């Protein structure tokens, strides 16, 4: 029996908007019955204007130091807890700074022997799409409307995927975070999503079925059923992401991700191992040991 998540493991020790120490997060993952758990702290940002709200007091230097601290601690915990859980150490990307994000992400990736990379886009040209409904609607207005915002977002994710080829592509449709219940993408946007899925399929990427949207009251898990079904038809593997930001969110909502994956018609789900790369498990069989 396996139970796993690869996008999450943020901790208050190294992330300003998370809580708990990294060790507490790892302990919570063990308590929740995870057999494999990925730690993917946010990468540092390299320009003042790219700091997340609240990080101003840390500044660029503080973020870089925090990330280096995360790396040391995460690799140490991976060894320390190896008998109890297989930890995988990675990081979550940004497409920032807009002009040389690829260089920044590749140099971060090569600086340490990470197990994997989670490819995420949270912005369009340095403006957040997921911070607040007000900011997102201002951004949409500036770009020419909601559809234009969505097209720009999916094009940007496609570009990230083609250039960076991350092991896991995170919260594919984050851009619909603040859309009302029952929302679905227009045909025009669906075509852009199709291009994104083609790009993921082309290099063998795996998509993150991320329960943060559901847990935080922003509709179903990412991505919406229409996207997940299409990904399944195209043979793109899916995995779990709890997007945990402290002990209170470790594993919380993953049952929704599991149901979404089943509903999309997947019979197998992929999980990453340190020794044997991607493996797959029967979707009906994965769940925490304790709840069996």
Helix (H, G, I), strand (E, B) or coil at 74: helix
CB of 222 to Zn ion, least distance (A): 9
Nearer to Zn ion, 131 or 278 (CB): 131
What residues does 127 pair with on adjacent strands? Answer: 124
Phi/psi region, residue 41 (left: phi>0; alpha: psi -120 to 50; beta: rest), is beta
Q: What minimum distance in Å lies between the beta carbon of 8 and Zn ion?
A: 9
Q: Is 16 left (phi over 0), alpha (psi -120 to 50) or beta?
A: alpha
Smallest distance, Zn ion to C-beta of residue 96, A: 12
* Helix/strand/coil (H/E/C) assignment for every residue in 174-211: HHHCCCCCCCCCCHHHHHHHHHHHHHHHHHCCEEEEEC
- Confirm if 17 and 245 have CB atoms less than 8 A apart: yes
Give the separation between CA 289 and CA 283, rounded to whole angstroms. 14
Please check whether residue 127 is in contact with residue 172, taking contact to mean a CB–CB distance below 8 angstroms.
Answer: no
Omega prior to 133 cis, within 30 of 0: no
Residue nearest to Zn ion (CB): 120
Find the shortest distance in angstroms from Cβ 235 to Zn ion: 25
In the complex with Zn ion, which residue's Cβ is closer, 237 or 241? 241
CB of residue 263 vs Zn ion: minimum separation in angstroms? 23
User: Is 227 or 283 the residue whose CB approaches Zn ion more closely?
Assistant: 227
Burial class (CB in 10 A: 0-12, 13-18, 19+), 131: middle
How many angstroms separate the CA atoms of 234 and 232, rounded?
5
Q: Which residues bind Zn ion (CB under 5 A)?
A: 120
Identity of the residue, 27 or 120, whose beta carbon is nearer to Zn ion in the bound complex: 120
Q: Which is nearer to Zn ion, 120 or 136 (CB)?
A: 120
The Cα–Cα gap between 101 and 16 comes to 22
Min separation Cβ 166 and Zn ion, Å: 12
Nearest approach, Cβ of residue 117 and Zn ion (Å): 13
Comparing CB distances to Zn ion, the nearer of 120 and 150 is 120
Residue number with CB closer to Zn ion (120 or 257): 120
């Amino acid at each position: 029996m396996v139970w796993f998540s690869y996008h999450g493991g943020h901790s208050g020790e190294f992330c300003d908007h998370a809580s708990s120490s990294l060790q507490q997060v790892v302990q919570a993952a063990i308590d929740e019955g995870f057999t494999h758990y990925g730690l993917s702290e946010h990468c540092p940002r390299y320009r003042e204007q790219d700091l997340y709200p609240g990080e101003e007091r840390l500044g660029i230097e503080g973020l870089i130091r925090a990330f280096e601290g995360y790396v040391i601690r995460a690799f140490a915990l991976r060894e320390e807890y190896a008998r109890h859980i297989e930890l995988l150490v990675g990081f979550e990307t940004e497409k920032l700074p807009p002009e040389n994000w690829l260089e920044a992400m590749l140099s971060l990736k090569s600086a340490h022997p990470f197990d994997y990379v989670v490819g995420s886009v949270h912005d369009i040209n340095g403006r957040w799409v997921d911070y607040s409904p007000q900011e997102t609607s201002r951004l949409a207005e500036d770009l020419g409307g909601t559809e234009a915002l969505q097209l720009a977002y999916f094009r940007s994710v496609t570009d990230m995927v083609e250039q960076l080829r991350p092991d896991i592509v995170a919260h594919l449709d984050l851009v619909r975070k603040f859309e009302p219940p029952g929302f679905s993408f227009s045909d025009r946007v669906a075509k852009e999503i199709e291009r994104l899925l083609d790009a993921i399929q082309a290099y063998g990427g795996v998509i993150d079925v991320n329960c943060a949207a559901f847990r935080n009251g922003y509709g179903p898990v990412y991505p919406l059923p229409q996207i997940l079904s299409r990904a399944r038809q195209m043979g793109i593997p899916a995995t779990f992401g709890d997007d945990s930001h402290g002990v209170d969110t470790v594993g919380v909502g993953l049952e929704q991700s599991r149901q979404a994956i089943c509903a999309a018609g997947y019979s197998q789900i992929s999980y990453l191992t340190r020794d044997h790369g991607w493996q797959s498990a029967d979707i009906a069989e994965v769940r925490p040991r304790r709840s069996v």
